[in-house]
Structure 1
């Protein structure tokens, strides 16, 4: 039997506690193997707190899921660093580091961690250094290709014999960049410090269009995402050959249906408005059928 597994990434959009509670109850009944929990985008988003995530972690663990707590991708203040250290002392088996500050804290605590997609790792030597600091799993940056992954794995294996799992972002809006400026607040002419958590009014982000009316980006607070959903459903057989885990990033309840496609390695027909370019080493907005 294949050891290929599926994961559900941290919720990247701002949903209120009640909606997340319902969502994770559905996740608990799904076939997903690994669930990442926590706020990884903006430190101002506090509709759900650490205790809430720990309760969901308990629910999911009781349902047989591996639970990973995710850290912020952009630390901007001493208070956020303090909250990071508190998070890293939570009673879970694994953490996802999305910032090098988290890597440092987890390494000092001698805790194993996942290297999140927000950390730039482009070669086997860097991955080896992180493995020696405690990394057990690497989520490939979303813009890298299948061929890059194969080459990096070979380089890593030639440099060390430490265990490493390889996870690929396989479905969802791609997290492309982060900024100290909040684009959603700017859209409403609000100061970032007085944003009123306006992101919650856009539970799937704000779509921006190009001059020729093409979906270009999705704005999600300080995060810039792809304008279209990235979907490797037609590449799942090859994906399972070169990686260990396929990550699904949900923006709606219905996205949980994609878990079965990847977990069973079913080569489903990709919806016409979904893209897969980066995997094939071409522009991300393009499609290879």
Structure 2
């Protein structure tokens, strides 16, 4: 079972981002996803910087996948995507169908990211015909839904692509053309001042009663809880999961990677280090961490 470092969801300063990924070159992860998936205004690293960083990580022995935006709204954003595909030199994570189409046209293998919304075996097979080589189910697709899709593929005589499951991190729940961070801070989206950079793990959002609820991250909404599927490793193996995705955090990521590296090499499931995922068990996503 492989470990992947998912794409950076937050907006960090340039030097922090570069230092994080250069440190990750020595971590026991097999796959690193690079690029901006949330907001095209986040330009601490240019397209050339991401491509150059990808080359550095490839030299360190990592498989690098360049990730696309989940919500493409402008021709300029499409131009960046075309450049990633043309110059990236490897696989693309398609988080929007325009990325899947461009990869198909250019014969570039791609990963179906969690925002691509693949819910049945027919859609999965169509994307495989277009060049899909790895599938990351959406956060709400738990073990039962994944098993049903896998079984439907087998019944149709189709082989599954590589299966990558989000095992650790805050879950990406939704995207909008509006900027939640700008709205929360009462500034216009087009004059936001890149305020996301002030919140390296997202802006906490509480209920009216003061209970932690969600994380605001630009145009993206994340779950508040950091989920951990480590204890579910026996189920993940039984499902045929090939890759465990770990989403980056501002602090403690090296220790998290080391924890998962030990876990994948053990026959025993590890202790839980973060919240239980209700979605994985077919329950409400905010099910209490100590439930069942």
Q: 2:198 maps to which residue?
A: 201
1:182-238 Cα deviation digits (max 9, x unpaired):
010111111111111110011111111123322211000000000111111211232
Structure 2 unmatched ranges of 5 or more: none
Q: 1:230 maps to which residue?
A: 227
Alignment of 1:109-188 (within 5 A): 109-162=106-159, 164-188=161-185
- SS of 1:48's equivalent in the other structure is coil
Q: 2:244 maps to which residue?
A: 246
* Cα distance in structure 2, aligned partners of 1:34 and 1:157: 27
Alignment of 1:1-289 (within 5 A): 4-162=1-159, 164-242=161-239, 243-264=241-262, 265=264, 267-271=269-273, 274-286=275-287, 287=289, 288-289=291-292
1:104-155 Cα deviation digits (max 9, x unpaired):
1111111110000011111111101110111000001011111111111111
1:57-83 Cα deviation digits (max 9, x unpaired):
122111111000000000011111122
Deviates more, 1:31-40 or 1:101-110: 101-110
Whether the 8 Å contact between 1:69 and 1:92 is mirrored in structure 2 is no
> Which 4+ stretches in 1 moved above 6 angstroms?
none
- SS of 1:262's equivalent in the other structure is helix
Whether the 8 Å contact between 1:174 and 1:226 is mirrored in structure 2 is yes
1:253 offset after TM fit, Å? Answer: 3.6
- SS of 2:115's equivalent in the other structure is coil
Structure 1 unmatched ranges of 5 or more: none
Q: How many residue pairs end up in the alignment? A: 285
TM-score calculated relative to the size of structure 1: 0.94
* Cα distance in structure 2, aligned partners of 1:258 and 1:155: 34
Alpha-carbon RMSD across the aligned residues, in angstroms, is 1.4
